[in-house]
Amino acid sequence: MAGEAAIINTAARASLWLQPHRIVLILIALGLVLSAAFFMRWDWLPQYWEMGLMGIWRALWILAVTCALGFLIAVPVGLAQAAGSIWVAAPAKVFCTIIRGTPLLLQLWLLYYGLGSLFPQYPWIRDSWMWPYLRQAWPYGVLALTLSFAGYEGEVMRGAFAGVPKGQLEAARAFGMSRWKIFRRIWLPQAFYRALPTLTGEAVLQLKSTPLVATISVIDIFAVAGKVRQDTYLTYEPLLLLALIYMAITGILVLALSRIEARIPVKVG
Amino acid sequence: MLGLLHSLEIAVGATIVGLAIGVCGAYGKLYGGPVVRDLLAVYTTVVRAVPELVLILLLYYAGTDLINQVLSAIGYQRVDISGLVAGIAVLGFCQGAYSTEVMRGAILAIPQGQIEAARAFGMSPGLLLRRITLPAMLPFAIPGLANLWLIATKDTALLAVVGFFELTLATRQAAGVTKAYLIFYLAAGVLYLAVTLFSNFLLGRAEKWARRGMPSIKEAR
């Protein structure tokens, strides 16, 4: 019975969603996609799809690493601004302002062309174990994206840390918890729950800034599309496919993060 | 310095175009028919899901190409679209999607009675928009629009990728010529930062002005 009711319910919702004009719109969209598939040139796909998969993988890898590292930096930055003395809070504030006040592309080029051009001047850097890494482009890309994520996220975490009700912390102190334990068990989880919806948005923004690393010669999916365009002189097809890929990744990302969001206890503070 | 000027020109232009699209889009989303509403939903979703860089490339090349093809099909000569116009159009298109959402939220935040009262006075929709909706929505919209303006100033840097001469590309060329990479990039960063801080100050003033006579946020809580 219950299953039947559920089926009827979903059917009713589907019919509500599938109004006549929507069906027409969907048909038009399908027609556009099909005409694109038939009338545009896609014969370059077999040749490049392996490279494309590598590019997608690299973009996702950069996204994951920079988000994780950026969040690790963002926690102390946010904490310093929310609870630290002025000597810690002021540098954190300056860091956030600078990161948020300048374009990411500029930061990236500053690190890659600016810092990258300084390193070869010092022989001891050239001889050290770091040199093989410093010669490549991706460490700079990861560093710039991490710092940018940390800057934006630090501001979010500041609000989240400040938003945890005072009573919770006082209660934890009354239980005789040490400061580290309070932070680990009470303060950080609650702040994290508060920040999670914003974190989802920030993760999507971070995904949208990953193609910038292509400008410093890291081969991600965006760079692959650029290469296809240069090789085949096609204007639209690679870019359209690229837009589609990014939309798919965004959709999956939002879906996955909203799953996580649904799992946390709703009643905070 | 010319680069900075170009950047600011584009940012201002794109914000104005974006605001215009935003007002129309928000009105369409709130009061439009089902088809208009769905199309706008597709527009805002797609633009907000695809990286700006990809959109810029797509619209910058595809857009100019398309216009030229249409023009030559009708029988006119091909026009050379300047980078400035194309940049403003492209960034404005991106900004439009974001500001549509901001404006939609702001219009929804207006007490319904005000709009109903204006309708009862027999105001035409245009007059209603100009006299009631826009001024009443302003305090709710300004924080979001301020963010958009800051994003616009930073998005102009992306136009460097398609070869438009603005602050970031100018910096890169200057740095490439003089080999003093670090100094030039730092200087450009300071310029961007100055623009941001200055507009933060102005926007704070504007918000205070728009909120005049309203209960402060703290009291309202």
All structural domains of chain B, each given as residue ranges with its CATH number in brackets, are: 2-220 (1.10.3720.10)
* Residue A219 token pair: 């081969």
pLDDT above 90 as % of chain B:
0
Contacts of B95 (CB under 8 A, 6+ apart): B14, B15, B17, B18, B19, B21, B22, B148, B151, B152
> Which of A110, A235, A250 has its CB closest to that of B49?
A250
| Residues of chain A scoring pLDDT < 70 | 1-18, 125-130, 132, 265-269
Which residue, among A97, A106, A208, A221, would best test binding to B if mutated, counting the most B CBs under 10 Å from its CB?
A106
Average pLDDT for B67-88: 73
Whole-number Å distance between alpha carbons of A210 and A213? 6
pLDDT at A10: 67
To the nearest whole Å, the CA of B74 is away from the closest chain A CA by 22
DSSP for residue A211: G
Size of interface A-B (CB pairs under 8 A): 115
Q: Are A152 and A67 in contact (CB under 8 A)?
A: no
> Which of A106, A222, A251 has its CB closest to that of B157?
A106
Q: Are B207 and B142 in contact (CB under 8 A)?
A: yes
Residue that is written with structure tokens 């826009």 in the block: B134
- Residues A64-82 have pLDDT tens digits of 999 999 999 999 998 888 8
To the nearest whole Å, the CA of B94 is away from the closest chain A CA by 13
CB atoms within 10 A of CB A17: 8
To the nearest whole Å, the CA of B155 is away from the closest chain A CA by 7
DSSP assignment of B142-208 equals HHHHHHHHHHHHHHGGGGGTTT--SHHHHHHHHHHHH--HHHHHHHHHHHHHHHHHHHHHHHHHHHH
The total number of residues written for chain B in this structure? 221
pLDDT at B214: 66
pLDDT above 70 as % of chain B:
91
> Is a pLDDT exceeding 80 seen at residue B33?
no
In chain A, the N- to C-terminal Cα span, in Å, equals 39
DSSP for residue B130: I
**For chain B, what is the mean pLDDT?**
80
DSSP for residue B105: H
Instruction: Note whether A28 contacts B: Cβ–Cβ < 8 A.
Output: no
To the nearest whole Å, the CA of A239 is away from the closest chain B CA by 6
pLDDT at B78: 63
Nearest to B160 by CA among B173, B150, B177: B173
Judged by phi (left if over 0) then psi (alpha if -120 to 50, else beta), residue A233 lies in left
pLDDT at B109: 84
> Which of A25, A102, A250 has its CB closest to that of B193?
A102
pLDDT at B27: 85
Collect all residues of chain B within an 8 Å Cβ-Cβ radius of residue A18: none
Residue that is written with structure tokens 């940012």 in the block: B11
Whole-number Å distance between alpha carbons of B149 and A193? 29
pLDDT at B220: 43
Judged by phi (left if over 0) then psi (alpha if -120 to 50, else beta), residue B122 lies in left
Contact across the interface for A113 and B53, Cβ inside 8 Å: no
> Which of A115, A211, A246 has its CB closest to that of B182?
A115
pLDDT at A147: 92
To the nearest whole Å, the CA of A108 is away from the closest chain B CA by 10
* Residue A103 token pair: 């374009």
Whole-number Å distance between alpha carbons of B110 and B116? 11
Whole-number Å distance between alpha carbons of A156 and B26? 27
Query: Top-level CATH class of A40-263?
Result: mainly alpha
Collect all residues of chain B within an 8 Å Cβ-Cβ radius of residue A211: 51, 53-54
C-alpha neighbours within 13 Å on the C-beta side of residue A159: 11
pLDDT at B219: 45
Is ipTM beyond 0.90?
no
- Residues A132-185 have pLDDT tens digits of 677 778 888 889 999 999 998 888 888 888 888 888 888 888 988 888 888 888
